[in-house]
Structure 1
Amino acid sequence: MTELSPSDIAKDAAAAAAVRLVENGMRLGLGTGSTAAFMVRRLAAFVKEDGLQLRCAATSKATADLAESLGMKVETLDDIGWLDLTIDGADELDPDLNLIKGGGAALLREKIVASASDRMVVMADGSKVVETLGAFHLPVEVIPFGWQTTKQLIDRMLTLMDLDGRPILQRKRDDAPLLTDEGNYILDLSLEAIPEPARLSAALNAIPGVVENGLFIGLCDLAIIGKPDGEVVELRPEGAEE
């Protein structure tokens, strides 16, 4: 067995703690990304050992394929309807538990699934906790038609918000445009800092051609932060009940 890096130990610890929130009979959203992969493996073992009956919806084809390869059944969100809990990772989270997500290009499905859940729990290692969002690039999913016009409109909007001069790059894979599970493109905004994430999110989604952006505002109820020693700490939005 390959020895885990300190970062992976932290991710696995957060995943293990998150899986302990799962109860028999739950309708569960499965996130996407490296930490979510640890969670899916932990969950599959939990289901097998305890015989849990769950209804699971995945936020990406990659997550669905992993879960099914481990013996779990994955259904569509439309078949399940509303979810009790979604467990996912994050690329950044701030003290209010606002998030940047989309490093794995699944932000659209991730936001739909999180919005269709009673609770969203995020797992992360300590490097993802920041005072101000924006050091990680902000992914924006856009339709391929007229995407360069959409990019220009985003650039103009950023100028109006005093965020001008930041690079906007089309995400690629093997020198070709990366396609999301919905067949769209991803534009990555290198903003450095986002002082008003809710305002920026609304402005981005008002632009024709933008499908969704990677700012998750007010969706996360609990963040479980793993440490390299295997311990975890829990973070909640200010004023939230434990």
Structure 2
Amino acid sequence: MPLSQDELKARVGRAAIDYVRPGTVIGVGTGSTVAHFIAALGAMPERIAAAVSSSERSTAALRALGIDVLDANDVEHLDVYVDGADEVDPSGYLIKGGGGALTREKIVAALAQRFVCIVDASKAVPVLGAFPLPVEVVPMAEASVRRRFAGGVLGTSGDAVLRLASDGTPYVTDNGQHILDVHGLRIADPVAFESAVNDIPGVVTVGVFAHQKADVCLLGTADGVRTITY
């Protein structure tokens, strides 16, 4: 019987423990795949010294396991950062932010000496953009940022839609900002695209991770965990 998507996520979450050295300070991302990684951290015979977390949800899960969580301002670097992604291309460029934590995820990724991305095979794509691109924005800039995407960024245009919470109000990030999800993009040059979107006034962070791309991807497949190094 084929493995379920959650079983594939559990496999890669556990596999990422091989990149964690006991006694070090590591970065921990956000999402359903990372939840399996956090559970595996709690089962390590020799614990890590501490973690820097990219979301309030992950912070709560880590502390529930007795793992100390530090503020990013209190560390100079991290040994490794482990996080999932919504899309990963053949070069290790990513789209992230489906869970709304893209800004903090990018900050933590920039502190790490190695970024290990953990995903199931459904997230591997030839070109980024099928997944709606999250863009965290200052609320007063929502309309102008939508117009910029409609007009095209580096030759590719998209429909930017305000993300809503379950009660129909605008989704609010841990940073107190809103998210636009941009549909219909084809991101052929992720590095240039990330830089161009970040230059739009009112954009806090774009969910393209090209400057902070993955160094290693652990891909959960029906045949087991495939390791891709970039």
For normalisation by structure 2, the TM-score amounts to 0.93
Q: Deviations over 1:116-159 (max 9, x none)?
A: 11000000000001111111011111011232223223333x1x
CA distance in 2, matches of 1:53, 1:65: 16
Hey, what does 2:202 align to over in structure 1? 209
Task: State the alpha-carbon separation in 2 of the partners of residues 53 and 38 from structure 1.
Answer: 16
Could you tell me whether the CA contact under 8 Å between 1:141 and 1:187 is conserved in 2? yes
**Which one-letter code corresponds to 2:160 in the other structure?**
I
| Aligned CA-pair RMSD | 1.6
| Counterpart pick for 1:149 among 110, 128, 144 | 144
What amino acid is aligned across from residue 204 of structure 1 in structure 2? V
Maintained 8 Å contact 1:154/1:207 = no
Q: What pairs with 1:133-144 in structure 2 (closer than 5 Å)?
A: 133-144=128-139
Q: CA deviation at 1:232?
A: 0.5
The yes-or-no answer on 1:103 pairing with 2:98 is yes
Percent identical among aligned pairs is 37
Separation (CA, whole Å) in 2 of partners of 1:144 and 1:19: 38
Pairing 1:35-184 to 2, within 5 Å after superposition: 35-46=33-44, 50-156=45-151, 158=152, 161-164=154-157, 166-173=158-165, 174-184=167-177
Q: After superposition, what is the alpha-carbon deviation per residue over 1:186-222, rounded to whole angstroms, capped at 9, x for unaligned? A: 0011124212222211111111100110011152100
| Alignment correspondent of 1:23 | 21
Larger RCO, structure (CA 8 Å, separation 6 or more) = 1
- Find runs of 4+ consecutive structure 1 residues off by over 3 angstroms: none
| CA shift for structure 1 position 80 | 2.4
Residues 75-119 of structure 1 deviation map (CA, whole Å, 9 limit, x = unaligned): 111122311100000100000000000000000000010011100
Residue 179 (structure 2) aligns with: 186
Rounded to whole Å, the distance in 2 between the matches of 1:193 and 1:147 is 21
Partner of 1:240: none
* Runs (5+) with no aligned partner, structure 2: none
- SS, match of residue 119 in structure 2: strand
Q: Which residue of 2 aligns with 1:224?
A: 218
The answer to whether the Cα contact below 8 Å between 2:161 and 2:182 also exists between their aligned partners in 1 is yes
Gaps of at least 5 residues in structure 1 are 238-242
| TM-score, length basis structure 1 | 0.89
| Pair 236,53 (structure 1): closer, same or farther in 2 beyond 3 Å | closer
The one-letter code sitting in structure 2 at the alignment partner of 1:83 is L
Matched pairs, number: 227
Q: CA deviation at 1:5?
A: 6.2
2:132 and 2:145 map into 1 onto residues whose CA distance is: 18
**Aligned equivalents of 2:168, 2:196: Cα separation in 1:** 30
Whole-angstrom distance in 2 between the partners of 1:74 and 1:5:
33
Distance 1:142 1:133 in 2: 21
Q: Which residue of 1 aligns with 2:228?
A: 235
Q: Which amino acid aligns with 1:168?
A: A
